[in-house]
Amino acid sequence: EDIEQFIEERNEARKNKDFARADEIRDMLKARHIILEDTPQGVRFKRG
């Protein structure tokens, strides 16, 4: 599965104020040891 695709889906959820879905995606990625970092320039990710 493509990490960037999940990040884009999370961004859309946040834009639509669907924070429950955004959190669900963040938590799913976190369980896969992928840490998201929200910055003013956008979302960055790193493997934890």
Domain spans in the chain, listed from the N-terminal domain onward: 3-47
Secondary structure element (H or E) that encloses residue 24, with its range: helix 19-31
Q: What is the pLDDT of residues 1-48, one digit of tens each?
A: 699 999 999 999 999 999 999 999 999 999 999 999 999 999 999 998
Residue 34: the pLDDT is: 96
Which position has the token pair 């963040």?
26
Q: Is residue 11 exposed (0-12), middle (13-18) or buried (19+ Cβ within 10 Å)?
A: middle
Which position has the token pair 């979302």?
43
Residue 15: the pLDDT is: 96
Q: Global pTM? A: 0.86
Residue 19: the pLDDT is: 97
